[in-house]
Amino acid sequence: MEGEVAAIAILHMYAMLDEQAAAWAVRERIAPALADDGCPGTAKSVIRGVLDDIVRRFQTAEAVSILLDEALVAEGPANLPGHPLRVLGDAAVTILPEVGTDPQRRQRIFTAALDWLTAAPGPNRWAVFMQLCVTVLSPPAAGTWEEPGWPGGFTYGHGVDSPEALSLIGDRLWPPLD
């Protein structure tokens, strides 16, 4: 088990290097491990955490697709922490410290989700896609981060996204749904 933990830790560090490394990690290591019935549940849980981090940082299409597949069988309300739709929704509307919101995060997740839906449309996929759209196409944005000059302190930002993001939603994301 120690070897698995070390290997997953190295995979996590590698995946956080850049978007190409993240896409490779998802395609070559994470997706096969999550699909492997012989992979222990604890290892899958840690690997799922790596996948969540990849979505939060890079919003790669491969990672988004895996989380949408997981959302098809996920139990419990979609607003629970760790639920695949919650992870995707939070990644789409995150306020980043010192940066603010990034409208491209919404677009990358929406585009990957639309590609996932059109690859094999069906009632269950439509239901998952529309649940995700509730967050991705809504104007609110939020984020939480630690305050470096205040030990134990944090900032919680919450509000309506920027005019640029709202234009993106109206001009580029809504039209494919018509």
Flag whether the pTM goes above 0.85.
yes
pLDDT by 10s per residue, the chain, length 178:
556 778 899 999 999 999 999 999 999 999 999 999 998 888 899 999 999 999 999 999 999 999 999 999 999 999 999 999 999 999 999 998 888 899 999 999 999 999 999 999 999 999 999 999 999 999 999 998 888 788 888 888 899 998 989 999 999 999 998 8
In DSSP notation, 24-85 reads HHIIIIIHHHHH-TTS-HHHHHHHHHHHHHHHHHT--HHHHHHHHHHHHH--S-TTSTT-HH
